[in-house]
Amino acid sequence: SPLSEKRNGHTLSPCAQVTQAENEASSSSSSSLIPCPMKDSSISGTPSSSQCSQSASFSSTVTTGTSLSRSTEGSSSQEEMEKSEGGSTSQEEMEQSNLLDEKVELLISFLLQKYQMREPVTKADMIGNVVKEYKDDFLEILRSASERMELVFGLDVKEVDPISHSYTLANKLDLTYNGMLSDQQGMPKTGLLIIILGVVFMKGNCATEEEVWKVLNMMDIYSGRKHFIFGEPRRLITSDLVKERYLEYQQVPTSDPPRYEFLWGPRAHAEVSKMKLLEFLAKIHGTNPKSFPSQYEEALRDEEDGEQEPDSPVYLSLKLIT
């Protein structure tokens, strides 16, 4: 049966806290990731009102950090439950849904531990250590955990051997960055990096510090406040990720008092396909990349220009460095 959010009175794990905090932040804020009019460095003119509407909707979706289809599936499943129960969801079904959600949270923790130890994981491992008596619901639990891993931590859960059902965790967008910097016991930070790269890209390849923090604040991430996944976020995005050459952080020209902006760093240009990034952002929005026409055209140009060619001098030089 489809999974539902935790109810009041239940203890929330760190993964559930991410979901709850981001849902609350999303519902309490009307700010959008891409305010209208959208900045566009490649195509002149003002975006259509429909594109602006999609941009605002995209913002509220990207900040949830939950299952991409959770709300749709949840509403449809609730309707089915109401039909089968004569108009109301039974307490037994609610409890079953909560128990499955707990298994999802436990599986996320188990997968993160395997990622930190750089160990593959099998279906037998997941059933024996986490899923146990709910093995009939294994595929549903794994699907929901995989979607949260993708959105919150920027990690893909991939099956590498369909015979032994062996899985591995890989950085989204094929980034060489392991997401944990020098702290090998830390939590993966790739998800935050992907979100910031996405903000910069959608804002015309240059986003002010205020614009970036506006989005991060919607995700309950604040400058100077330690986050249990991302640590001290200001140092992470203005220093650590800059040193990793994924971001550039510079003063806005002629700004007085000084203001700062973010751009993609050379390592992001070498490793990140704008089309793959746009596909990921569109997936979050529940649409397709062509819904963002200016970004789609830019991504197409980059694909045609071979910006991510593995034999390019920039790519090879960065590979030597990393």
SS (H, E, C) 5-47: CCCCCCCCCHHHHHHHHHHHHHHHCCCCCCCCCCCCCCCCCCC
- pLDDT tens profile 256-289: 999 999 999 999 999 999 999 999 989 888 899 9
Q: What is the rounded CA–CA span in Å between residue 47 and residue 40?
A: 9
Amino acid of residue 52: C
Q: Cβ neighbours of residue 95 under 8 Å, at least 6 residues apart?
A: none
DSSP 126-142: HIIIIIGGGGGGHHHHH
Contact (Cβ atoms closer than 8 angstroms) between residue 3 and residue 101 = yes
Residue type at 239?
S
Q: Report d(CA 241, CA 193) in Å as an integer.
A: 8
CA 294 to centroid of chain Cα atoms: 22
CA 147 – CA 34 distance, rounded (Å):
23
Q: How does 154-177 read in b/e, with b if 16+ C-beta sit within 10 Å? A: bbbbeeeeeeebbbbbebbbebeb
The per-residue pLDDT for range 189-212, each reduced to its tens digit, is: 888 999 999 999 999 999 999 999
Cis peptide before 266 (omega within 30 of 0): no
pLDDT in tens, the chain (322 residues): 433 334 344 444 434 443 444 344 333 332 333 322 223 332 222 334 444 433 333 333 333 343 333 333 343 344 444 444 454 567 878 887 888 889 999 999 999 888 888 888 999 999 999 999 999 999 999 999 999 988 888 888 999 999 999 998 888 888 887 665 444 456 778 889 999 999 999 999 999 999 999 999 988 899 989 888 888 899 999 999 999 999 999 999 999 999 999 999 999 999 999 999 999 989 888 899 999 999 999 999 998 887 545 554 444 444 444 4
> Each residue of 98-118: pLDDT tens digit?
888 899 999 999 998 888 888
* Residues in contact with 17: Cβ distance below 8 Å, sequence separation at least 6, in sequence order: 228
AA letter at 288: N
Count of CB atoms situated within 10 Å of the CB of 232: 14
Give CA–CA dist 300/294, Å, rounded. 10
HSE value, Cβ hemisphere, 13 Å, CA-based, for 88: 3
DSSP 8-class letter at 217:
H
Q: Is 305 exposed, middle or buried (0-12, 13-18, 19+ CB in 10 A)?
A: exposed
* Cα–Cα nearest to 187, from 113, 260, 245, 252: 113
> Can you give the pLDDT at residue 196?
95
* pLDDT at residue 185 in the model: 52
Check residue 186 and give its pLDDT: 60
The pTM for the full model equals 0.66
